[in-house]
Structure 1
Amino acid sequence: MALTTSLAGRVRNTSLPKSHALLPLLEAVVNGIQAIDARFGDDVEHGRLSVRIQRSPQEELDLGPVGPGRVALKPIVGFLVEDNGEGFTPENMTSFETLDSDHKATIGCRGVGRLLWLKAFDRVSIRSTYEDDAGALHGQQFRFSVERDVEPDGEADGLGGVGTIVSLDGFKEPFQKSALKTVDAIAREMFEHCIWYFLRPGGAPDVTVTDGDETVSLNNLMAEFVYSEMPATTIDVKGEKFDMVNLCLKSSTRNPAPRLHWCAASRVVMEENLTSKVPGLYGKLKDEASAEFTYACYLSSNFLDDHVRADRTAFDIAEHVQGATLTEDVSLDDIRAGVLEEVERILAVPLSAAREEGKARVNDFVSNRAPRYRPVLSRLESLDVTVDPSIKDQDLELLLHGKLQKLEADAIAEGQAVFAEDGSTPPEDYAERLARYLDTVTDINQSDLAAYVSRRRVILDHLDRLIRSDDQGNYSREDAIHSLLIPMRTDSNKIGTDASNLWIIDERLAFHEYLASDKTLKSMPITGSESTREPDVLATRLVDHPLLAAEGERLPLPSIVVVEIKRPMRNDASEDKDPIQQCLDYVKRVREGGVRTAFGRPIPPSKEPPAFCYIVADLTPKMVSRCEYANLRATHDGMGYFGFNEPNKAYIEVINFNRLVNAATERNRAFFDKLGLPSS
């Protein structure tokens, strides 16, 4: 009993990802090149193959991504592929009518290319002329579709020269929308898919792609994209031979990254980006003459030919081989490792130069932008930190941060291992391991300190920008500066100690029992006040016992700090809007309340808890008037006022914004200079 085959079922079960929408066209092109080879042998220079792009005659436009400055094109509805190869001989016709034919199996054909045609196109028309042994011409003309299989399409009259015309019509919408649109892009896709024919001895026939009045020659693309050829090499992976064709491509936006092209049956099956898979291999490399190029490798072997899938979009090869096996199974990882090792060997000189450039990039970044990594830089290099010299600052910061985290994790593991041996007889290398661990921890701690100091430099730079006017002469609002000093509408029970930058005003403000930012007095547990007025910042500190916010339960007497921030160059200070008097009122209300700690414990009454009032404001005429009214003294540089208010037992300081930034910078100058950061 003979088995029958359903063409519709075979087409339905044939895989064609939309990302490979042009694969049916590429298969038709490869068939044409093979037909030319069969006719002309080594004289392929006599061969001709042309592809014509057919677009919709309607006025509708393909509104897919066209890029800036490009005009939308009419949708592609089909392709016409014409070659002067041997034509549809009786043997070729029989093979075409036989699914899964092995007629051309010796050159990697699987007999499924025509199924891909029907997967992406509604119908296919073929007109072909061949020459018999006696030199007479014969014609074949037929249609091919899912509904009607292969059917004659009239007599093939008016025979011209030997060759074939394949018309792929009715480009199905899902594939049409996913396919490349321009003649340049389609020609390049064809070139890369068929590049094996251009690289082989004897080269390829003349191949062109035409779209209206524009024609692109694939033979010219070879000269346009290939800078030079490197010696071909062969690697052995578990007894299997793999041939590597190594190319130096001219650097351009079209060749941005080094790539590995996996080939089978004289076709590119899949490609892989090699960026960073070999240390120093990122984008462009430089040869001995400093000319830039991009590396590309075309990998082929009988093993790949035997394991390529029928649709030629992937390989039936495991990505990994887990554990030991009875046979030496070859995985994609095995092949890739062999290729990368060979790439590192043949590109040793340019890769070494690229690694040195990357190292210089890291050193420059650490010296000028991220000094926190300087104490551990030598240790990071041992973690194989190699970077693209053109890497962006933010990407380099993320890379170094990740490596630093790994270094810290390794140090923790090493410390646990070392200290786990306490109490037992220490091994011979115990002292050496302990010293190595302590050295690493010291470097990491220095890095943390450098990060803290660098953050202060960034904060001061940002504050300096906030107090300046913009192009329209406007100044930042109070809340922008307030949020930089400390987040608004919160207190120290909700934020960490690192969230506050009150050290800009006074280093002692880093230590407090309770701190509130832009909250009503009524909402503060330390006051017992019913007032809904809001000081910008209010803090308490225990006398002689400076504590962080999380530890605020110790008594006795708290000190009180109030900070009031005004908009730069704001000139509305008056008797009703006197920031000095506002601060003193806040101090008085805090003292009058049923004062409790942040955890609700009562604080013993005290008549004279020390109070400190800081007003951050520019010295406008009205602000100067309020300072003089409060009997405050001008500082020696004329950029602030200070004094002591006896009735309220409060020290008062009015700080000009410039003085605020300058004073904070001066206090940190020694640290900035040590790290090589600008301090002015």
Structure 2
Amino acid sequence: MRNLNIKLTDLWFPLFEAVINSFQSIQERDKSNSGNITIKITRKNSTLPDDIGEIDTIEILDDGIGFNDKNFDAFRTSDTDNKIVIGGKGVGRLTWAKVFGSAVIDSNYYDDEKIKRRHFIFSENGFEDYQENILADQKAISGTHVKLRNMNSQYSANSAIELKEIATELMKHISVYLMNNEKIKVDLIELKTNEIINLNYTFFTEYIKKQEVKEIYIDDHRFFIRHVFSINKLAKGTNIAFFCAQNRVVNSVELDKYIELPETYLIDDKELYYSCYITSKYLDEDVSSERLAFNNFIYEKKEKSGMTGLNGFERINESVSYYLESYIKKIYEQKEDIIKEYISKEQPHFNYFYHHKSMREKLRSIPYRDVTDNNKLYEELRKIDSGFYIDTRKKVEQDEVTQEQIKEIVNAIDDTSKSSLAEYIVRRKLLIELLESKLGKTNEKYERESIMHNILFPMKESLDTIDYESHNLWLIDERLSFSYSGFSDIPLRKIMKTKEDTRPDLVFINSFTNSENKDKTTIDSMTIVEIKKPGRKNYSDGGPDNQLIKYIRTIKAAGEIYDYNERVYSLANNIAFTCYIIGDLTREMKEMLEDAKFTTADNGEKYTSYNPNNNAYFEFISFSKLVKDAKLRNKIFTKKINLVE
């Protein structure tokens, strides 16, 4: 009992165990599998008139074989294997004493052609009030009455639910028994209101929405497949095939491991779960004495060497596939549509898959469950892409190839190149959309300057600490992506000899030429980028180029600049500076640009200026123009490789 872990939410386990015991007891008594199980619910008294009430007692009555000596000895033995032949674990009755104060058992059974009665009370303390006698009324029938009484308060706190909800919980757990034992009547009764729910009727009218029996032959043996659609799963999974013998489930398999099936099926505008039950006179006769396996019947994908017996794998799968053909066809169509849409809109660099028959077949082989998850679908597409690349590499490395194979290889290389380019272009497209989404106001506020800065280039980083794909300098100028060195939001005193603590947003060393001094390198070109907060109207730092001119003077006064490895580079006397100012072209900004003698270009969307004293070219680019130009450049690429924009 101490080792038995029953969660507070598992309070119905004792009921499940008792009802299953009743099914098994009736099966053991009568091969015709006919009988009655009655479940009675008694609730604790409540002072509230509308209170449903917590469970106090549950009674389970059946007309099964009863507690004969064999069953009683098994009941008294911890971890018995008496019911292992029908899947029992031998600890079910321990849940009775765990959740309830005690269980009172009254049972009639036949012994030496006499009907006997056995009575006892079972609790965590053991057995009490044991009685055994021969009944005076020898016309009495066998059966058992289990009374689970005084539900422990920690469990009963979760038990105040309506009888219909209890019925639903019970049907979920015993669905296989209800399906295979239609002659065993199960009634659930609320004693307080005398409400009665017949689980058989409820199960087959409300729980099971559609069922149909089909006949098939496997090597001249007749089998029946009952196809069932239910509103809830009849087992832990869906698409389960239950192999039955003598009205019991002997084995089960997950069909969707072998047949591509949807998780649910849309029937009459309701999502239902599928399962099937395979029965046959052959299976009834072939089941082992323990009823845990079949002696000759097998369900194997491939016959093993030396394997003999009746293999139902291909015939059963064929029959299920034929029955579910319309649903499977829908799944393939849905899957194809989902993949096409995902590739077209999200990953167009995989478009080349459709140019190759082998690739199209691999797309069809992706499981439906992975197609509906974008992350899993992407991984599957990457696997196909990687496999194609590896195959192409192998062909390239072959010493001798035919002209036809050379043509194949060239086409394959062209496709993978387009794939990589397309992926890059899509990444750019998403980045442009991100930048565009940050323009304008959100909740009456503009984005911070740092947000825009980090989109273009991560703050506090330099070109040696991040890779090419971690920055987006191409939005400003494609050439900046190939700068020799670059620093983002780093104080000037850290990259040159100066006491200035000012921090340009972005500083780049564009190129350098070797001087006669081998220990130094002369830098002849630099780029500085200044990013303004979107929507900014108030500028206290003077003209738009004032701050940039201060940076230029500091750099020229230092005469040298440090590299990442603290190597020192000198500045050419005529070093050229290209300076970008990026911000919103507000009315205030226009006035400042005009006052600073900037000239307009591109229909007033761009302003430029040249400062001959510092050999510095200045260009103001609005965020909207930055986005517009980036879109135009990307659009040309998308058209060239036939991507969907």
Q: Above 0.5 in TM-score?
A: yes
Which residue among 584, 588, 592 is the counterpart of 2:549? 584
Q: What TM-score does the superposition give when structure 2 sets the normalisation length?
A: 0.77
Residue 490 of structure 1 pairs with residue 461 of structure 2: yes
Provide the C-alpha distance between the structure 2 equivalents of 1:458 and 1:512, rounded to a whole number of angstroms.
24
- Once the two structures are TM-superposed, the CA of residue 371 in structure 1 deviates from its matched residue by 1.8
User: C-alpha separation between the residues in 1 aligned to 2:167 and 2:583?
Assistant: 67
Equivalent pairs counted in the alignment come to: 617
For residue 146 of structure 2, what is the amino acid of its counterpart?
V
Equivalence for 1:195: 175
Aligned mates of 1:475, 1:242 — CA distance in 2: 75
AA at the equivalent of 1:589: T
Give how far 1:665 is off.
1.3
Q: 2:340 aligns with which of 339, 345, 363?
A: 363
Tell me the equivalent position of 2:428: 456
Rounded to whole Å, the distance in 2 between the matches of 1:19 and 1:248 is 29
Show the counterpart of 1:81. Answer: 60
Deviation at 1:230, TM superposition (A): 3.6
**Alignment-derived partner of residue 124 in structure 1:** 103
Gaps (5+ residues) in structure 1?
1-10, 61-70, 546-552
Equivalence for 2:444 = 473
Contact 2:26 / 2:33 at 8 angstroms: preserved in 1? Answer: no
Q: Aligned-pair distance for 1:353?
A: 2.4
| Mean CA deviation greater in 354-363 or 603-612 | 603-612
1:347 to 312, 324, 339: 324
Secondary structure at 2:122 match in 1: strand
Q: Return the alpha-carbon distance in structure 1 between the equivalents of residues 82 and 475 of structure 2.
A: 80
SS in 2 for 1:26: helix
CA gap of 1:281–1:520, structure 2 versus 1, over 3 A, is: same
Q: Does 1:152 align with 2:121?
A: no
| Deviation (angstroms), 1:193 | 4.2
- Matched residues in 2 for 1:103 and 1:544: separation? 87
| Matching of residues 380-529 of structure 1 within 5 Å | 380-385=359-364, 395-396=373-374, 398-415=375-392, 417-422=394-399, 426=400, 435-470=407-442, 472-524=443-495, 527-529=496-498
Q: 1:603 aligns to what SS in structure 2? A: strand
RMSD: 5.1
**Partners in 1 of 2:243 and 2:162 — Cα distance?**
25
Aligned to 1:296: 275
Matched, 1:26 2:8: no
Q: 2:501 aligns with which of 532, 557, 560?
A: 532
What is the letter of the counterpart of residue 360 of structure 1? D
Distance in 2 of aligned mates of 1:103 and 1:618:
80
CA offset digits 1:550-597 (Å, max 9, x no partner): xxx9965342111111111111123x3544211122223223322344
Question: Is the contact between residue 235 and residue 342 of structure 1 (CA under 8 Å) also seen in structure 2?
Answer: no
Letter in 2 for 1:195: S
- Residues 456 and 115 (structure 1), Cα distance of their counterparts in 2 relative to 1, 3 Å cut: same
Shift of the 570–230 alpha-carbon distance from structure 1 to 2, 3 Å rule, reads: same
1:223-234 equivalences under 5 Å are: 223-231=205-213
Aligned-partner SS, 1:535: coil
After superposition, the C-alpha distances for 1:327-386 in whole angstroms (9 at most, x for unaligned) are 8599xxx99999766644543342122111210121122223332221224554322445
Matched, 1:567 2:539: no
The alpha-carbon distance between structure 1 residues 114 and 649, as it changes in their structure 2 partners (threshold 3 A), is closer
For residues 655 and 254 of structure 1, the distance between their equivalents in structure 2, rounded to whole angstroms, comes to: 64
Q: Deviations over 1:89-113 (max 9, x none)?
A: xxx4323322289999899487947
SS for the counterpart of 1:258 is coil
Measure the CA separation in 1 of the matches of 2:169 and 2:102. 23
CA contact (8 A) 2:543 2:592 kept: yes
Provide closer, same or farther for how the CA distance between residues 381 and 416 of structure 1 changes in structure 2, counting only shifts above 3 A. closer
Whole-Å Cα distance in 1 between the matches of residues 466 and 315 of structure 2?
53
Deviates more, 1:585-594 or 1:384-393: 384-393
Between stretches 490-499 and 402-411, larger displacement belongs to 402-411
Shift of 1:177: 9.6
Contact 2:577/2:617 (8 A) holds in 1: yes
The whole-number CA distance in structure 1 between the counterparts of 2:175 and 2:228 is: 14
Instruction: Tell me, yes or no, if the aligned pair for 1:565 and 1:616 is still in contact at 8 Å.
Output: yes
How far apart are the structure 2 equivalents of 1:252 and 1:14?
A: 29
1:298-313 superposed matches below 5 A: 298=277
Residue 38 of structure 2 aligns to a residue whose secondary structure is: strand
Change (3 A) 1:299 1:181: farther
After superposition, residues 44-193 of structure 1 pair within 5 angstroms as: 44=34, 47-53=35-41, 79-83=58-62, 85=63, 88=66, 92-99=67-74, 108=86, 112=90, 115-117=93-95, 120-121=98-99, 123-128=102-107, 140-145=118-123, 147-149=125-127, 151-152=129-130, 164-169=144-149, 183-184=163-164, 186-193=166-173
Name the SS of the counterpart of 2:502 in structure 1: coil
Contact 2:223 2:278 in 1 (8 A): yes
Identify if the C-alpha distance between structure 1 residues 257 and 484 changes in structure 2 by more than 3 Å, giving closer, same or farther.
farther
CA distance in 1, matches of 2:614, 2:54: 83
Asked if the contact 1:187/1:218 (under 8 Å) is kept, the reply is yes
Query: Structure 2 counterpart of 1:364, which letter?
Result: E
Q: Report the AA paired with residue 15 of structure 2.
A: L
- Tell me which amino acid in the other structure corresponds to 2:550: D
User: What amino acid does structure 1 have at the position aligned with 2:337?
Assistant: A
In the alignment, the residues of structure 2 paired with residue 211 and residue 378 of structure 1 have an alpha-carbon distance, to the nearest angstrom, of 70
Deviation at 1:74, TM superposition (A): 6.8
In the alignment, residue 20 of structure 2 is paired with which amino acid?
Answer: V
Distance 2:19 2:234 in 1: 23
Amino acid at match of 1:585: K
Residue 4 of structure 1 corresponds to which residue in structure 2?
A: none
TM-score by length of structure 1 reads 0.74
After TM superposition, give the deviation of residue 495 of structure 1 in Å: 0.6
Gaps of 5+ in 2: none
**Range that drifts further, 533-542 or 380-389:** 380-389
> Aligned equivalents of 1:298 and 1:642: distance in 2?
79
CA distance in structure 2 between the partners assigned to 1:108 and 1:261 by the alignment: 18
Of residues 208-217 and 448-457 in structure 1, the stretch that sits farther from structure 2 once superposed is 208-217
1-structure distance, mates of 2:573, 2:556: 8
CA contact (8 A) 1:491 1:516 kept: yes
**CA 1:142 to 1:185, structure 2 compared with 1: closer, same or farther past 3 Å?**
same
**Pair 1:194–1:473, CA change in 2 (3 A):** closer
Structure 1 residue 41: Cα displacement: 7.3
**Contact kept? 2:28, 2:65, Cα under 8 Å:** no
Read off the aligned partner of 1:28 and give its amino acid letter: A
Q: Is the 8 A contact 1:183 1:211 kept in 2?
A: no
Deviations 1:496-524 (A, max 9, x none): 11111121122222210111111111223
Shift of the 26–484 alpha-carbon distance from structure 1 to 2, 3 Å rule, reads same
Percent pairwise identity: 21
Deviation of 1:612 (Å): 1.0
Summarize the Cα distance change of 1:620–1:350 in structure 2 as closer, same or farther, 3 Å threshold.
closer
Kindly state the Cα deviation for residue 477 of structure 1 after the two structures are TM-superposed: 0.7
Paired letter, 2:438: L
Give the 5 Å matches for 1:252-267: 258-260=238-240
Amino acid at match of 2:573: K
Please tell me the residue identity of whatever aligns with 2:210.
Answer: S
**Structure 1 or 2: larger strand share?**
2
- Stretch of structure 1 that moved more, 583-592 or 179-188: 179-188
Does structure 2 retain, via aligned residues, the 8 Å contact 1:226–1:247? Answer: no
